[in-house]
């Protein structure tokens, strides 16, 4: 049976089983009810309510500014649409870095108010205690290593990470620390494909790559990149399956022309 036809609810256990069976995991971002429903019905395994909502929908240059209240709002829209996919909510900047208790309170809001089934947070070994605190409270946690966009002001650019041996070793160690702390999966962003392969081999939990090459357990993309709807910048790893921004431009141009020349509405479109 194809994955799209398999309507069983995806859980964190499903993702573990997919890794064990060497079947690749599909994941996409979602921020709203309409698109989330379409993605869910199309058979994607994981819907991530990413803090990329800040850059993609809100027009900011970084993800740093998005708030807990905004994330709760977007999570609830997505969670209400998802029937099959596992819904993961991103912990926004400073919602978990202050300490494990603060993280627990904020992660709890994403589950209780936002209705997500798991949370994601960025960072490695320094966050192992926070991951443990959430997991012990019954909150599944997805880690995020490699390029971690909330640290953009520290990195200074969105360049690929893990290009040098020391950083590669650190990323593999971070993956092991997070796995030991109890994450159910890891997102690995913008690193060399060889490092993607190394991290995937180093941990038993699924590694979901974004710009991390093909040797990982699954892939995630920003939906608005895949659809050609977000065009402000175009990461090399983001394959476009549609050119929706162009299609929308054409449709709106046609509408404006028809209104202006009086051909819309016609008799069939009038009462
Ligand atoms: O917020 C987001 O969209 C993400 C993806 C890059 C995985 O974290």
Which of the listed residues 149, 211, 225 should we mutate to test ligand 1's pocket, taking the one with most ligand atoms within 8 A of CB? 149
User: Of ligand 1's atoms, which has the minimum distance to the CA of residue 29?
Assistant: 3
51 Cα to the center of ligand 1, angstroms: 7
For 15-33, write each residue's pLDDT tens digit: 999 999 999 999 999 999 9
Please choose, from the candidates 90, 105, 108, 99, the residue with its C-alpha nearest in 3D space to the C-alpha of residue 46.
Answer: 90
User: Of ligand 1's atoms, which has the minimum distance to the CA of residue 50?
Assistant: 1
Q: Which residues are catalytic?
A: 189
For 176-235, write each residue's pLDDT tens digit: 999 999 999 999 999 999 999 999 999 999 999 999 999 999 999 999 999 999 999 899
- Centre a 10 Å sphere on the Cβ of residue 41 and count the other Cβ atoms it contains: 15
Residues in the chain, pLDDT under 50: 1-2, 4-5
Q: Which domains does the chain have, with CATH numbers?
A: 12-240 (3.20.20.60), 245-271 (no CATH)
User: Of ligand 1's atoms, which has the minimum distance to the CA of residue 220?
Assistant: 7
Q: Which pLDDT value is given to residue 197?
A: 98
Q: Which pLDDT value is given to residue 67?
A: 98
Q: Which pLDDT value is given to residue 152?
A: 94
pTM of the entire structure? 0.96
Residue-averaged pLDDT of the chain: 97
Which of the listed residues 187, 211, 212, 229 should we mutate to test ligand 1's pocket, taking the one with most ligand atoms within 8 A of CB? 187
In the block, residue with structure tokens 């573990």: 16
221 Cα to the center of ligand 1, angstroms: 8
Give me the helix-helix angle, 128-136 and 165-181, nearest 10°.
Answer: 20
């Amino acid at each position: 049976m194809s994955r799209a036809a398999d309507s069983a609810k995806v859980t964190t256990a499903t993702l573990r089983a997919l890794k064990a069976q060497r079947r690749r995991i599909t994941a996409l971002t979602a921020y709203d009810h309409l698109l989330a429903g379409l993605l869910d019905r199309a058979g994607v395994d994981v819907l991530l309510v990413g803090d990329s909502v800040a850059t993609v929908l809100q027009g900011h240059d970084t993800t740093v500014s998005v708030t807990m209240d905004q994330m709760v709002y977007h999570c609830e829209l997505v969670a209400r649409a998802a029937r099959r996919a596992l819904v993961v909510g991103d912990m926004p900047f400073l919602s978990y870095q202050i300490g494990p208790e603060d993280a627990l309170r904020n992660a709890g809001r994403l589950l209780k108010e936002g209705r997500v089934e798991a949370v994601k947070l960025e960072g490695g070994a320094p966050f192992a205690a926070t991951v443990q605190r959430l997991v012990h409270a019954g909150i599944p946690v997805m880690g995020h290593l490699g390029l971690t966009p909330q640290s953009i002001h520290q990195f200074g650019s969105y360049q690929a990470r893990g290009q040098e041996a020391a950083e590669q070793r650190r990323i593999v160690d971070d993956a092991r620390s997070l796995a030991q702390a109890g994450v159910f999966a890891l997102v690995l962003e913008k690193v060399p494909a060889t490092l993607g392969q190394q991290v995937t081999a180093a941990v038993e939990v699924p590694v979901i790559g974004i710009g991390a090459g093909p040797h990982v357990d699954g892939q995630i993309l920003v939906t608005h990149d895949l659809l050609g709807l977000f065009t402000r910048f175009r990461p090399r790893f983001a394959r476009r399956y549609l050119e929706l921004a162009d299609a929308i431009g054409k449709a709106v141009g046609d509408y404006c022309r028809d209104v202006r020349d009086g051909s819309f509405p016609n008799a069939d479109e009038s009462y």
